[in-house]
Amino acid sequence: MAALFPINRSLTGPGVVETLERISAVVPLQVTEVPSGTELLDWTVPDEWSLQGAHIADADGNHLIDVADHTLHVVSYSEPVAATLTRAELEVHLHSLPDRPDLIPYRTSYYSRTWGFCLTQHQREALGDGPFDVLIDSTLAPGTFRYGEAVIPGTDTEDPTEVIVSTHTCHPSMANDNCTGLVAVMAIGGHLLRHPPRRTHRLLFLPGTLGAIAWLAQNPDARERVHAGLVIGGLGDTDPLTFKASRRGDTVVDRVAHAVLPRRDASFRPLSFSPYGYDERQFCSPGFDLAVGRLSRGQHGEYPEYHTSGDDLAFVDADRVAEGISAALEILRGIDDNETLDNLSPYGEPQLGRRGLYSSTGGAIDSRSVEMAYLWVLSGSDGETDLVTIAERADLPIDAVVEAARRLSDAGLTAPRARGGH
Amino acid sequence: MAALFPINRSLTGPGVVETLERISAVVPLQVTEVPSGTELLDWTVPDEWSLQGAHIADADGNHLIDVADHTLHVVSYSEPVAATLTRAELEVHLHSLPDRPDLIPYRTSYYSRTWGFCLTQHQREALGDGPFDVLIDSTLAPGTFRYGEAVIPGTDTEDPTEVIVSTHTCHPSMANDNCTGLVAVMAIGGHLLRHPPRRTHRLLFLPGTLGAIAWLAQNPDARERVHAGLVIGGLGDTDPLTFKASRRGDTVVDRVAHAVLPRRDASFRPLSFSPYGYDERQFCSPGFDLAVGRLSRGQHGEYPEYHTSGDDLAFVDADRVAEGISAALEILRGIDDNETLDNLSPYGEPQLGRRGLYSSTGGAIDSRSVEMAYLWVLSGSDGETDLVTIAERADLPIDAVVEAARRLSDAGLTAPRARGGH
Amino acid sequence: MAALFPINRSLTGPGVVETLERISAVVPLQVTEVPSGTELLDWTVPDEWSLQGAHIADADGNHLIDVADHTLHVVSYSEPVAATLTRAELEVHLHSLPDRPDLIPYRTSYYSRTWGFCLTQHQREALGDGPFDVLIDSTLAPGTFRYGEAVIPGTDTEDPTEVIVSTHTCHPSMANDNCTGLVAVMAIGGHLLRHPPRRTHRLLFLPGTLGAIAWLAQNPDARERVHAGLVIGGLGDTDPLTFKASRRGDTVVDRVAHAVLPRRDASFRPLSFSPYGYDERQFCSPGFDLAVGRLSRGQHGEYPEYHTSGDDLAFVDADRVAEGISAALEILRGIDDNETLDNLSPYGEPQLGRRGLYSSTGGAIDSRSVEMAYLWVLSGSDGETDLVTIAERADLPIDAVVEAARRLSDAGLTAPRARGGH
């Protein structure tokens, strides 16, 4: 995270290139390049932006504000400017936060040509009366929009469906939003490479909004192909983990997350879908309506450091990021292990004892034992109810139910009806 | 209300005629006349009743009780009587309220021939031992049953469906029940005449029970024609506004009321349907099962002034009636504005910025702004979810969602699938 | 209960024979006999077990533990043994409860050949160092498995469906589990013989698990034939009555129990189905999935006397058992009386007054009177909603709603669409 933090990412440009290269060293990426001007669904790829330097100087040439001090000082996608301005002329191009006077805000203007500087309220008040020499040495020209993806093939080569894990790659020096997302999806990729999943998993590193639009535009079969997915971001702040449901609200990722997360943190509270947030907005647009939820912590704008220079490396905590990664992996495993079974001995309970699945001395039972998992799986295996739903009803970990199902299947008592269940 | 209060209304008779005439001066009414003996669904129109005078006098001719003092003193539909009675003979014809000794109760006997006097418990105790000269100078003879309706044509002349707004017109001098209902529906009518609705609205001024029975009997296509409706009454007491759901419970009037009323009063609590109450009983009978709910305040019998002389002009409050009228109009507008839309750009979010629908500088957003309404409408416009449901999910006012939908439609991003949604 | 308590019941053997004989003196039973070795669904009938005596003696011949003192002292289905053992050799065959040192646990080993003694922790600690003379004088040989059933014919001879009431008959000297169940089903049988139900009721006295398996194996049409049912047991402890729902959770027995029990005890809380418990496990296995719930009090293992010698006659209370019997009878009556009606006068309310069903003087009504029941039945009689659901919505006793329905039917206002509603 320390290596990724300083890079001046934006929608396009060298910061994105460097970021994708660093990720690829851990999880090999295919990078898709899309030329400026390309139409993607309702959007058009804008010119590529690069920034060589930017400052506001006083009449004596002293740099009062300089992007070399903080990547947030320049509005992302600022057009070039070199001019001497009065204070009044400069004022309309300044962004600060009166209620948080020590923090630099984060601002962008990807699709409307303008320029601006972001600075703390204290800096703004100390600028003086001018005149000011203002320089933004940027390039906005036809170029390339890039996003990366890593495919981790599933062991079940006959299953054409995929699970996607997505994070955004476009925010400059902010740690929680979005370096924690980058690091988390890299770690998830490393884990899946070492422990291949049943279903193919596709990790998506996408510049926000346009990246997801581009991927969806170039994968028009997403509705059929994407079994489920997670958008990940903002895992390092002090809030508890939150899961925002998919638009449909009862898909497999929703049910798995609702079974997994309350067992990890009793204070977990589910969030229903809303059309604002990260790229779940695109994946859950009504035309695609994918089974994609979002794992994060604090919500947009609800913590004061959000989208400011206060979201620095000191703001995030490695243990909390690690807990987020672990929770994401448990959710992905739950999705991958989920099945709908048929009970092959559905008339009365089968005799588990003679199959070695049940203790032979009756009269005492530990109600939370593996034997309970056998009974719940047999009772729920009606060809309609999946293992995740059985786990929720039984108030048992998904893992325990999956293991019981595996042993019952080995004993010939159950057979898979269908994988997953959207 | 002061002009309507003193009139001695009943199921039929001159009080109803005078009431309909006064209403018609504000909202022109068509009055339907039905002769006595006419069969209406399971009912038969009774004889018409008129009362010229009534009293209980002592042996000296002093009028101890006289209907000239209060219209409630005579049981409505009392048959004529002129007799000298002992106290014991009179006693079975007296109605008073021992637990509320200062109030005269309201009693009727429309369908069973009898007579009686209503008086306060104090008056009853002071009557003396008799004998009493009792006179009820009434007429019960074949005549006419009347109800009024006002049709306010909708601007959409191709839509054959209607919204009904109904109140009862049969209660004599009681202010909350039912002068507030009469005044409220008159005010609603005046507003709709000045601001024509999209769908035709029909205001019904109906003597309780038999009026609704008569209107339904004479409008057998009500089930197809009535899109939704509100029964209104009892808007002036001190209780918060209450909405009683239709029998089905999830019709458009229910969903609109549940979206509108909690935003006006955080203490609002919904009531589910019950088969007792005002004329929603008839509109929601299982053969018709209309999307008709009821807007009122305190429930029948739950306030001590209910159906007594205590329900006088001092009991009701003009501001509370006005708030009820305003709430009713907001509900009616919500019903009229409701639509189900198709998102014409459902694959990913459309780019709102280039259509001038979104602020161009990213990074900061006011989560309750009109931009959120755009996102919610786009996300919800799946051809199944109507604007009212979207407003509820978004926790936004219906008006804001309707306005966002209008602008999206103007921008070519949405198109109406269907109006309303039962 | 005092007569049934001492009998040494097991899965098979003379204790079951004696128990069925004693029950048959009150409710005549048909006893089905199944030979050892018979295959029943996934199970096989084991050998029959009988016990002539059993003890642990010290070297001087003193009986330290003797089954003559308590039937729980021997593990049920212990194979014969006669040996002199060291303390260490004996130890693996002993069962006691360190956390409840005064209680003898209840243990069985029906399907795995072994032997053992159950004793209090205090007795175990006082046994001494041995050697011990151990004798279990038991017989395990091909024989007969027995269960009993009593059929109480319904008055409606055209209805082929049945209601079952089941309890287990296999537990030795424990009062709550299961003498209260035996006594309760006997009492229910006695009541039904005196007050014949509409639908045939079948009382099942079944050794746990295998009894239900046997009955289901021999009644493969159970899914079609069993309209609903109750498993009864554990009615005498100090917990409030509990109702465990059927696997489907919304069958007629569930809805009736949820309407009946909260009116009897405001602290009642429903339990959802779980695949552990009494014989509802078998009746609700997914292949049968019957509408069978369970009426009991404390849950398995949640009270310290459960499955120990502490569950003696002093532990249970006759009044609580009687309340359980009364509740069961009310549930069974609710199931039997349930119907789905068509309102034959569904357009507006029918005029109840001229049919003598409504008080003739209007203006005052007791909202909980029988008149409300008429209105609720008329409103709910839409050919889909049954009387139990109407009672729940109306917050009225099922009896009141059934009586109102009967009178409305006599008045020609309603007609039965269907009996019950699964």
For the record, the structure tokens of C332 come out as: 């069974």
Higher pLDDT: A112 or B74? It is B74
Count of A-C CB contacts under 8 Å: 90
If you count DSSP H runs as helices and E runs as strands, how many of each does chain B have, helices first?
12, 18
- Is there a contact between B36 and B45 (Cβ–Cβ < 8 Å)? yes
pLDDT at res. B130: 86
Using the beta-carbon criterion (under 8 Å), do A349 and C307 form an inter-chain contact? no
| Range in A93-107, B268-282, C319-333, C350-364 with the lowest mean pLDDT | C350-364
Average pLDDT of chain C, as a whole number = 94
- A417: buried, middle or exposed (CB in 10 Å: 19+, 13-18, 0-12)? middle
- Whether the per-residue pLDDT at C221 is higher than 60: the answer is yes
Q: Is the pLDDT of residue A146 over 50?
A: yes
Confidence of residue A299 (pLDDT cuts 50, 70, 90): confident
| pLDDT tens digits, one per residue of B110-168 | 998 999 999 999 999 999 998 999 999 999 999 999 999 999 999 999 999 999 999 99
What pLDDT shows up at residue A362? 56
Among residues of chain B, what percentage have pLDDT more than 70?
96
- How far is residue A162 from each of residues A77, A165, A203, A335, measured CA to CA in Å? 34, 10, 10, 11
pLDDT at C67 over 80: yes
| Omega prior to B176 cis, within 30 of 0 | no
Confidence band for B301, pLDDT divided at 50, 70 and 90: confident
Chain C interface residues facing chain A, Cβ-Cβ under 8 Å?
41-43, 75, 105-112, 114, 116, 209, 212-213, 216-217, 247, 272-276, 281-282, 284-289, 300-301, 307
- The band of A101, judged by pLDDT with boundaries at 50, 70 and 90, is very high
- Whole-number percent of chain A with pLDDT over 70: 96
Residue type, C190: G
pLDDT at residue A393 above 70?
Answer: yes
Instruction: Catalogue the E-assigned strands of A101-154.
Output: 117-118, 132-141, 144-152
- Indicate whether A421 pLDDT > 90: no
Residues in chain B: 422
With CA atoms as reference, the chain C residue closest to A385 would be: C286
pLDDT digits (tens, 9 = 90+) for C364-420: 444 456 889 999 999 999 999 999 999 999 999 999 999 999 999 999 999 998 655
pLDDT of residue A422: 44
User: How sure is the predictor about A189, in pLDDT bands with cuts at 50, 70 and 90?
Assistant: very high
- CA-to-CA dists, residue A248 to A245, A285, B359, B382, C107, angstroms: 8, 11, 28, 11, 50
How many B/C residue pairs have CB atoms within 8 Å? 90
Distance CA A365, CA C348 (A): 59
Distance (Å, whole) CA C69 – CA C63: 10
Specify the pLDDT at position C364: 47
Contact: C375, B112; criterion CB under 8 Å: no
The whole-angstrom separation of Cα A175 and Cα A1 is 8
Give the span between the Cα atoms of A106 and B363, in whole angstroms.
Answer: 6
C-alpha span between B78 and B107 (Å, rounded): 10
- Is residue A359 over pLDDT 90? no
In the predicted model, what is the mean pLDDT of residues A113-129? 96
**Does A286 contact B346 at a Cβ distance shorter than 8 Å?**
yes
pLDDT of residue B361: 55
Residue B295 has pLDDT above 80, yes or no: yes
B368 pLDDT band (50/70/90 cuts)?
low
Does the structure show a pLDDT above 70 at B418?
Answer: no
Q: How many CB atoms lie within 10 A of CB A369?
A: 12
pTM for this prediction: 0.91
Q: Is the pLDDT of residue A388 over 90?
A: yes
**CB-CB neighbours of C326 under 10 Å:** 14
Q: Chain A partners of B380 at a C-beta cutoff of 8 Å?
A: 286
What distance in Å separates the CA atoms of residue C199 and residue C151, rounded to the nearest whole number? 11
- The candidate with the shortest Cα–Cα distance to A329, out of A147, A152, A169, is A152
Task: List Cβ neighbours of B366 (8 Å cut-off, separation of 6 or more).
Answer: none
Q: Give tens-digit pLDDT for A252-288.
A: 999 999 999 999 999 898 999 999 999 999 999 999 9
Task: Kindly identify which residue of chain A lies nearest to residue C93, measuring between CA atoms.
Answer: A361
CA neighbor of A210 nearest in space, from A64, A111, A65, A323: A111
Distances (CA, A) of B365 to A312, B110, C192: 21, 64, 71
Determine the residue of chain C that is closest to B282 in CA distance: C348
Mean per-residue pLDDT, C244-267: 96
d(Cα B168, Cα C362) in Å, to the nearest integer?
Answer: 15
Q: How confident is the model at residue A368 (pLDDT cuts 50, 70, 90)?
A: low
Q: From the CA of C177, how many Å to the nearest CA of chain A?
A: 12
pLDDT in tens, C173-213: 999 998 999 999 999 999 999 999 999 999 999 999 999 99
Instruction: Name the band, by pLDDT with cuts 50, 70 and 90, for residue A371.
Output: confident
Neighbors of chain C by Cβ distance (3+ pairs < 8 Å): A, B
CA A276 to chain B, closest CA, distance in angstroms equals 7
Q: Is the pLDDT of residue C248 over 60?
A: yes
Structure tokens at B345: 């750009």
* Dihedral angle of Cα B398, B404, B407, B408, to the nearest 10 degrees: -120
> Is residue C61 predicted with pLDDT exceeding 80?
yes
Whether A342 has a pLDDT exceeding 50, the answer reads yes
Cα dihedral B126→B127→B130→B133 (10° resolution): 160
Question: What is the average pLDDT across C282-308?
Answer: 93
The secondary element (H helix, E strand) that includes residue C87 is helix C87-91
pLDDT of residue B354: 87
- At what angle are helices C180-194 and C14-24 packed, to 10 degrees? 30
In this structure, which amino acid lies at residue A397? P
Chains that touch B (3 or more CB pairs under 8 A): A, C
> Which chain C residue is nearest to residue B106, measuring alpha carbons?
C363
Query: How far away is chain B from the Cα of A331, in angstroms, using its nearest Cα?
Result: 25
* Chain A residues inside the 8 Å CB shell of B381: 286
B358: confidence class by pLDDT, cuts 50, 70, 90: confident
Would you place residue A365 in the very low, low, confident or very high pLDDT band (cuts 50, 70, 90)? Answer: very low
Please report residues of A whose CB lies closer than 8 A to that of B353.
Answer: 111-112
Q: Min CA distance, B386 vs chain A (Å)? A: 14
Residue B181, min C-alpha distance to chain A (Å): 40
Contacts of A206 in chain B (CB under 8 A): none
- For residue B364, the model assigns a pLDDT of 47
> A355 near A289, Cβ under 8 Å?
no
Chains with 3+ CB–CB pairs under 8 A to A are: B, C
Q: What is the pLDDT of residues B213-252, one digit of tens each?
A: 999 999 999 999 999 999 999 999 999 999 999 999 999 9
Is the confidence at residue B1, as pLDDT, over 50?
yes
Q: How far apart are CA A103 and CA A309, in angstroms?
A: 6
Residue C243 neighbours by CB under 8 Å, 6+ apart: C254, C257, C258, C261, C268, C270, C271, C293, C294, C295
Q: How deeply is A225 buried, as exposed, middle or buried, from its count of CB atoms within 10 A (0-12, 13-18, 19+)? A: middle
The three-class DSSP label of residue B63 is strand
ipTM of the complex: 0.92
pLDDT digits (tens, 9 = 90+) for C273-290: 999 999 999 999 999 999
pLDDT for the residue C82: 97
User: At B422, is the pLDDT very low, low, confident or very high (cuts 50, 70, 90)?
Assistant: very low
